[in-house]
Amino acid sequence: MNTVTKKALAGAAWLLLVMALMLFVSAGSMRFWQGWIYWSVFCTSVVVITVYFLRHDPNLVARRTTAGPIAEPETTQKVIQGLASALFCALLMVPGLDHRFHWSSVRFPLVLAGNALVAISFTIIFVVFRENSFASSVIQVEKEQRVVSTGLYSYVRHPMYAGAGLLLIATPLALGSWWGLPVGLMLCGVIVVRLLDEERRLAADLSGYQEYRRNVRYRIVPGVW
Protein backbone atom coordinates (compact mmCIF):
# COMPACT_ATOMS: atom_id res chain seq x y z
CA MET A 1 0.00 0.00 0.00
CA ASN A 2 1.60 3.29 -1.11
CA THR A 3 1.69 6.58 0.79
CA VAL A 4 -1.19 8.21 -1.11
CA THR A 5 -3.47 5.22 -0.48
CA LYS A 6 -2.61 5.10 3.22
CA LYS A 7 -3.14 8.84 3.62
CA ALA A 8 -6.44 8.83 1.70
CA LEU A 9 -7.91 5.86 3.56
CA ALA A 10 -6.76 7.17 6.93
CA GLY A 11 -8.20 10.60 6.12
CA ALA A 12 -11.55 9.14 5.06
CA ALA A 13 -11.73 6.94 8.17
CA TRP A 14 -10.90 9.88 10.43
CA LEU A 15 -13.51 12.12 8.76
CA LEU A 16 -16.24 9.51 9.12
CA LEU A 17 -15.33 8.77 12.74
CA VAL A 18 -15.38 12.46 13.69
CA MET A 19 -18.70 12.92 11.87
CA ALA A 20 -20.21 10.00 13.80
CA LEU A 21 -19.01 11.47 17.09
CA MET A 22 -20.45 14.90 16.30
CA LEU A 23 -23.78 13.42 15.26
CA PHE A 24 -24.37 11.01 18.11
CA VAL A 25 -22.69 12.87 20.96
CA SER A 26 -24.73 16.00 20.20
CA ALA A 27 -27.87 13.85 19.91
CA GLY A 28 -27.07 12.23 23.24
CA SER A 29 -28.29 8.90 21.92
CA MET A 30 -27.36 6.13 19.51
CA ARG A 31 -31.06 5.94 18.60
CA PHE A 32 -30.74 8.93 16.30
CA TRP A 33 -32.02 6.97 13.30
CA GLN A 34 -31.82 9.94 10.94
CA GLY A 35 -28.14 10.20 11.87
CA TRP A 36 -27.54 6.54 11.06
CA ILE A 37 -29.16 6.76 7.62
CA TYR A 38 -27.32 9.97 6.74
CA TRP A 39 -23.98 8.70 8.03
CA SER A 40 -24.41 5.46 6.06
CA VAL A 41 -25.14 7.32 2.82
CA PHE A 42 -22.25 9.72 3.42
CA CYS A 43 -19.90 6.89 4.39
CA THR A 44 -20.78 4.75 1.37
CA SER A 45 -20.35 7.70 -0.99
CA VAL A 46 -16.96 8.71 0.43
CA VAL A 47 -15.61 5.14 0.39
CA VAL A 48 -16.81 4.42 -3.15
CA ILE A 49 -15.38 7.68 -4.53
CA THR A 50 -12.09 7.28 -2.68
CA VAL A 51 -11.54 3.66 -3.76
CA TYR A 52 -12.53 4.42 -7.37
CA PHE A 53 -10.07 7.26 -7.76
CA LEU A 54 -7.29 5.47 -5.92
CA ARG A 55 -7.54 2.92 -8.72
CA HIS A 56 -8.20 5.24 -11.67
CA ASP A 57 -6.68 8.64 -10.79
CA PRO A 58 -4.32 8.55 -7.78
CA ASN A 59 -2.99 12.01 -8.70
CA LEU A 60 -6.44 13.47 -8.03
CA VAL A 61 -6.55 11.71 -4.67
CA ALA A 62 -3.12 13.11 -3.82
CA ARG A 63 -4.39 16.61 -4.59
CA ARG A 64 -7.49 16.04 -2.43
CA THR A 65 -5.71 14.65 0.64
CA THR A 66 -4.18 18.00 1.55
CA ALA A 67 -7.06 20.12 2.75
CA GLY A 68 -8.25 22.53 5.41
CA PRO A 69 -7.26 26.03 6.56
CA ILE A 70 -3.60 25.17 7.17
CA ALA A 71 -3.13 23.79 3.66
CA GLU A 72 -4.36 26.96 1.93
CA PRO A 73 -1.52 29.13 0.59
CA GLU A 74 -3.35 32.46 1.00
CA THR A 75 -4.51 34.08 4.24
CA THR A 76 -7.95 34.91 2.84
CA GLN A 77 -8.63 31.27 2.05
CA LYS A 78 -7.29 30.17 5.44
CA VAL A 79 -9.95 32.34 7.07
CA ILE A 80 -12.66 31.16 4.67
CA GLN A 81 -11.78 27.51 5.20
CA GLY A 82 -11.60 27.96 8.96
CA LEU A 83 -15.11 29.42 8.98
CA ALA A 84 -16.34 26.67 6.63
CA SER A 85 -14.93 23.97 8.92
CA ALA A 86 -16.64 25.47 11.97
CA LEU A 87 -19.96 25.75 10.15
CA PHE A 88 -19.72 22.17 8.87
CA CYS A 89 -19.35 20.97 12.45
CA ALA A 90 -22.42 23.03 13.36
CA LEU A 91 -24.27 21.55 10.37
CA LEU A 92 -23.97 18.12 12.01
CA MET A 93 -24.27 19.11 15.66
CA VAL A 94 -27.31 21.41 15.44
CA PRO A 95 -29.49 18.57 14.05
CA GLY A 96 -28.10 16.32 16.78
CA LEU A 97 -29.10 18.84 19.42
CA ASP A 98 -32.44 19.27 17.64
CA HIS A 99 -33.01 15.52 18.00
CA ARG A 100 -32.07 15.60 21.68
CA PHE A 101 -34.26 18.56 22.65
CA HIS A 102 -37.07 18.04 20.08
CA TRP A 103 -36.86 21.54 18.62
CA SER A 104 -38.37 20.55 15.27
CA SER A 105 -39.58 17.57 13.29
CA VAL A 106 -39.16 16.63 9.63
CA ARG A 107 -41.54 14.06 8.12
CA PHE A 108 -40.10 10.69 7.11
CA PRO A 109 -40.58 11.18 3.33
CA LEU A 110 -38.58 14.44 3.51
CA VAL A 111 -35.83 12.70 5.45
CA LEU A 112 -35.61 10.10 2.69
CA ALA A 113 -35.69 12.84 0.05
CA GLY A 114 -32.86 14.61 1.86
CA ASN A 115 -30.76 11.45 1.79
CA ALA A 116 -31.53 10.98 -1.90
CA LEU A 117 -30.28 14.52 -2.53
CA VAL A 118 -27.13 13.76 -0.53
CA ALA A 119 -26.50 10.76 -2.81
CA ILE A 120 -27.15 12.92 -5.89
CA SER A 121 -24.73 15.58 -4.63
CA PHE A 122 -21.99 12.97 -4.29
CA THR A 123 -22.79 11.72 -7.78
CA ILE A 124 -22.26 15.25 -9.12
CA ILE A 125 -18.96 15.50 -7.25
CA PHE A 126 -17.89 12.10 -8.61
CA VAL A 127 -18.64 13.18 -12.20
CA VAL A 128 -16.69 16.41 -11.64
CA PHE A 129 -13.66 14.53 -10.29
CA ARG A 130 -13.73 12.18 -13.27
CA GLU A 131 -13.82 15.13 -15.65
CA ASN A 132 -11.23 17.29 -13.90
CA SER A 133 -8.16 15.67 -12.36
CA PHE A 134 -6.98 19.10 -11.16
CA ALA A 135 -9.92 19.52 -8.74
CA SER A 136 -7.67 20.18 -5.76
CA SER A 137 -8.80 20.78 -2.17
CA VAL A 138 -6.85 24.03 -2.11
CA ILE A 139 -6.93 26.95 -4.51
CA GLN A 140 -3.86 26.65 -6.71
CA VAL A 141 -2.88 26.59 -10.38
CA GLU A 142 -0.37 23.94 -11.43
CA LYS A 143 2.06 24.22 -14.33
CA GLU A 144 0.40 21.60 -16.53
CA GLN A 145 -3.16 22.59 -15.54
CA ARG A 146 -5.61 23.37 -18.34
CA VAL A 147 -9.13 24.75 -18.51
CA VAL A 148 -11.76 22.00 -18.44
CA SER A 149 -14.83 22.95 -20.46
CA THR A 150 -16.44 19.57 -21.10
CA GLY A 151 -19.11 17.61 -19.22
CA LEU A 152 -20.75 19.59 -16.43
CA TYR A 153 -18.16 22.31 -16.96
CA SER A 154 -19.90 23.18 -20.24
CA TYR A 155 -22.97 24.24 -18.23
CA VAL A 156 -21.51 25.93 -15.15
CA ARG A 157 -18.00 27.02 -14.20
CA HIS A 158 -18.04 25.44 -10.75
CA PRO A 159 -20.06 22.20 -10.83
CA MET A 160 -18.27 20.82 -7.77
CA TYR A 161 -19.51 23.75 -5.70
CA ALA A 162 -22.99 23.10 -7.10
CA GLY A 163 -22.79 19.55 -5.81
CA ALA A 164 -21.42 20.71 -2.48
CA GLY A 165 -24.17 23.31 -2.11
CA LEU A 166 -26.81 20.66 -2.72
CA LEU A 167 -25.18 18.49 -0.06
CA LEU A 168 -25.23 21.32 2.49
CA ILE A 169 -28.91 22.09 1.90
CA ALA A 170 -29.91 18.41 1.90
CA THR A 171 -28.02 17.51 5.09
CA PRO A 172 -30.41 19.16 7.60
CA LEU A 173 -33.42 17.54 5.91
CA ALA A 174 -31.70 14.15 5.91
CA LEU A 175 -30.97 14.61 9.62
CA GLY A 176 -34.56 15.60 10.37
CA SER A 177 -33.87 19.16 11.47
CA TRP A 178 -35.34 22.45 10.25
CA TRP A 179 -32.96 24.30 12.57
CA GLY A 180 -30.02 23.00 10.59
CA LEU A 181 -31.15 24.75 7.39
CA PRO A 182 -29.90 28.25 8.39
CA VAL A 183 -26.48 26.73 9.10
CA GLY A 184 -26.48 25.08 5.67
CA LEU A 185 -27.41 28.38 4.03
CA MET A 186 -24.64 30.22 5.88
CA LEU A 187 -22.17 27.58 4.74
CA CYS A 188 -23.40 28.02 1.15
CA GLY A 189 -22.66 31.74 1.56
CA VAL A 190 -19.09 30.91 2.63
CA ILE A 191 -18.74 28.70 -0.45
CA VAL A 192 -19.82 31.61 -2.66
CA VAL A 193 -17.13 33.82 -1.10
CA ARG A 194 -14.54 31.09 -1.69
CA LEU A 195 -15.73 30.64 -5.27
CA LEU A 196 -15.40 34.35 -6.09
CA ASP A 197 -11.88 34.44 -4.65
CA GLU A 198 -10.99 31.30 -6.60
CA GLU A 199 -12.24 32.87 -9.83
CA ARG A 200 -9.99 35.85 -9.24
CA ARG A 201 -7.01 33.51 -8.93
CA LEU A 202 -7.94 31.41 -11.96
CA ALA A 203 -8.52 34.46 -14.16
CA ALA A 204 -5.08 35.78 -13.24
CA ASP A 205 -3.05 32.55 -13.42
CA LEU A 206 -4.81 29.96 -15.61
CA SER A 207 -4.33 30.37 -19.34
CA GLY A 208 -7.63 30.40 -21.24
CA TYR A 209 -9.84 30.90 -18.20
CA GLN A 210 -10.95 34.38 -19.23
CA GLU A 211 -12.25 33.05 -22.56
CA TYR A 212 -13.91 30.11 -20.80
CA ARG A 213 -15.61 32.52 -18.41
CA ARG A 214 -17.03 34.47 -21.37
CA ASN A 215 -18.32 31.27 -23.00
CA VAL A 216 -19.83 29.74 -19.84
CA ARG A 217 -21.76 32.53 -18.15
CA TYR A 218 -23.09 30.78 -15.06
CA ARG A 219 -21.10 29.81 -12.00
CA ILE A 220 -23.27 27.27 -10.15
CA VAL A 221 -26.89 27.19 -11.38
CA PRO A 222 -27.60 27.35 -15.15
CA GLY A 223 -29.80 30.29 -16.02
CA VAL A 224 -29.58 31.74 -12.51
CA TRP A 225 -26.01 32.52 -11.36
Tell me whether residue 220 is exposed, middle or buried, using C-beta atoms within 10 angstroms of its C-beta: 0 to 12, 13 to 18, 19 or more: buried
pLDDT of residue 26: 98
Amino acid at 2: N
| Short-list 183, 28, 174, 22, CA closest to 101 | 28
Half-sphere exposure of 3 (CA within 13 A, CB side): 4
Question: Quick one: CATH architecture of 3-215?
Answer: Up-down Bundle (1.20)
Look at residue 153 in the predicted model and tell me its pLDDT. Answer: 94
**Average pLDDT of the residues of the chain:** 91
pLDDT in tens, 80-107: 889 999 999 999 999 999 999 999 999 9
CA distance 194 to 80: 7
Gap between the Cα atoms of 104 and 163, Å rounded: 26
Instruction: Single out the residue of 14, 4, 13 nearest to residue 56, CA to CA.
Output: 4
Of residues 142 and 48, more confidence is placed in 48
Q: Is 57 helix (H, G, I), strand (E, B) or coil?
A: coil
Region 126-131: mean pLDDT is: 94
Looking at per-residue pLDDT, the higher value among 19 and 142 belongs to 19
d(CA 164, CA 108): 23
C-alpha dihedral (173, 178, 180, 181), degrees to nearest 10? 80
Is 45 within 8 Å of 118 (Cβ atoms)? yes
- Which residue, 49, 191, 57, 65, is CA-closest to 137? 65
Mean pLDDT value across residues 208-218: 92
pLDDT in tens, 6-56: 999 999 999 999 999 999 999 999 999 999 999 999 999 999 999 999 998
- pLDDT for position 29: 96
Q: What is the model's pLDDT at position 67? A: 62
The pTM assigned to this predicted structure is: 0.92
